[in-house]
């Protein structure tokens, strides 16, 4: 058990503007409703960031910039932070801010059913929740709001749980040399082994690493309340066990949880999974066992 600590601080990125179904913007508030009732969770709400106009794509640029500024500022003061995001396009702001705060190379573990590696030129839908990985790799520089280059190097990025993607995304990541664990490989080697390799990749020569969890990376039986569910994902048990092992790793600096849609959740299973994830990362899981 780790020593008694201050509460883990959380930033809410309450935006669904990057996805066709914007109800993921309601996810952070649903989690907040539980956190406020349970101070023993060692979780503290720090700030909520929202687009100035939830119906206008032009609002994404200042929203990402504000989110980046908030994450940078908070991580400079804290050893670890959490960002509860709406749709996964929020990662564009989250990890840009984390990268700035690290003052050196950032490693990133991306748990997701999708590759999220489209660019504006290849995206079939044009929605930004399908483009954050490409953007963070510096491959979407022709967009209207990305001007700072890559946030993470390809050799320090690892994707886990992938099972739904287009050929253009696969080609981009293969060309760049990004390690991708599709679900068929995870089923062969086990999630623990895949996660261990991901941590090694994200830790190699970096100042620290973060984990971005799109809840659709989890099997819909365990996380039904997500924006884009895909059958056959990572089990909640495997994910929680892996996070437990990383709980005391000082190189693990930031966690993002995205794509929780409380409107379509079933028996609050997804909500309770998010809370369980936060309990483990905060250290409250240890406290509850004693």
- Is 99 a catalytic site residue? no
Query: Which residue is catalytic, options 46, 99, 118, 129?
Result: 129
For residue 24, the 8-state DSSP code is G
Query: Which residues neighbour 219 within 8 Å (Cβ) at sequence distance 6 or greater?
Result: 231, 232, 233, 234, 235, 236
- Is 118 a catalytic site residue? no
Query: Which residue is catalytic, options 114, 118, 169, 219?
Result: 114
Mean pLDDT by 10 residues, the chain (290 residues): 70 94 95 90 93 78 94 98 96 96 96 95 86 93 67 98 96 98 98 98 98 98 95 98 96 98 97 97 65
pLDDT score recorded for residue 142: 56
Q: What is the pTM of this model?
A: 0.95
- Is 290 a catalytic site residue? no
Query: Which residue is catalytic, options 70, 112, 256, 265?
Result: 112
C-alpha to C-alpha distance for 183 and 191, rounded to whole angstroms: 9
Three-state DSSP at 285 gives: helix
- Is 112 a catalytic site residue? yes
Locate tokens 């569910």: which residue? 229
Q: Decide if 252 contacts 211 (C-beta within 8 A).
A: yes
Give which of 182, 67, 60 is closest to 128, Cα–Cα: 60
Query: Which residue is catalytic, options 46, 88, 99, 118?
Result: 88
C-alpha to C-alpha distance for 255 and 110, rounded to whole angstroms: 10
Query: Which residue is catalytic, options 70, 87, 214, 219?
Result: 214
- Is 219 a catalytic site residue? no
- Is 116 a catalytic site residue? yes
- Is 259 a catalytic site residue? yes
- Is 222 a catalytic site residue? no
Locate tokens 């990985």: which residue? 133
C-alpha to C-alpha distance for 18 and 125, rounded to whole angstroms: 11
Query: Which residue is catalytic, options 87, 169, 216, 222?
Result: 216
């Amino acid at each position: 058990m780790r020593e008694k600590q201050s509460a883990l601080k959380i930033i809410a990125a309450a935006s669904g503007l990057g996805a066709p179904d914007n109800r993921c913007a309601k996810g952070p508030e649903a989690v907040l409703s539980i956190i406020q009732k349970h101070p023993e969770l060692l979780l503290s709400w720090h700030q909520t960031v929202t687009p100035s106009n939830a119906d206008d794509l032009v609002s994404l640029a200042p929203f990402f910039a504000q989110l980046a500024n908030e994450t940078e500022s908070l991580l400079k003061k804290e050893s670890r932070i959490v960002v509860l995001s709406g749709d996964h396009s929020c990662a564009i702001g989250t990890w840009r801010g984390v990268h700035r705060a690290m003052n050196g190379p950032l490693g990133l573990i991306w748990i997701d059913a999708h590759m999220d590696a489209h660019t504006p030129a290849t995206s079939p839908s044009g929605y930004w929740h399908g483009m954050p990985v490409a953007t963070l790799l510096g491959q979407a520089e022709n967009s209207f709001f990305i001007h700072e280059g890559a946030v993470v190097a390809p050799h320090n990025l690892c994707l886990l749980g992938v099972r739904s993607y287009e050929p253009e995304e696969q080609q981009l990541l293969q060309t760049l040399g990004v390690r991708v664990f599709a679900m068929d490989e995870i089923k062969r080697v086990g999630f623990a082994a895949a996660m261990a390799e991901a941590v090694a990749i994200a830790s190699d020569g970096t100042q620290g690493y973060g984990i971005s969890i799109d809840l659709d990376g989890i099997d819909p039986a365990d996380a039904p309340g997500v924006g884009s569910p895909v059958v056959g994902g990572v089990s909640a048990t495997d994910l929680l066990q892996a996070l437990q092992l990383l709980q005391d790793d000082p190189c693990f600096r930031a966690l993002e949880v995205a794509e929780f849609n409380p409107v379509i959740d079933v028996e609050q299973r997804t909500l309770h999974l998010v809370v369980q994830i936060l309990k483990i990362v905060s250290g409250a899981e240890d406290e509850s066992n004693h």
